[in-house]
Amino acid sequence: MECDYAKQCEYVAIFDADFQPEPDFLLRTIPFFVHNPEVALVQAQW
């Protein structure tokens, strides 16, 4: 990602325009990255 603010972040979440995630979405998805350094993408079911 070329945006300066994204370069400073460890993780970036991208959502469809019509998707409203649950309040705990990041709490449930970030552990997949933290506990497995080989994971680069998590796709969540809508």
pLDDT in the model for residue 21: 87
Contact 33, 11 (CB under 8 A): yes
**16-38 tens-digit pLDDT:** 888 888 899 889 889 988 999 89
Interior CA angle at 3 toward 29 and 34, to 5°? 25
Classify 27 as helix, strand or coil. helix
Q: If you search the block for the tokens 């959502």, which residue do you land on?
A: 15
State both tokens at 4: 């300066």
Please provide residue 18's backbone torsions phi and psi, each rounded to the nearest 5 degrees: -100, 15
pLDDT in the model for residue 46: 61
pLDDT in the model for residue 4: 83
pLDDT, averaged across the chain: 85
pLDDT in the model for residue 24: 92
The C-alpha atoms of residue 3 and residue 17 are separated, in whole angstroms, by 19
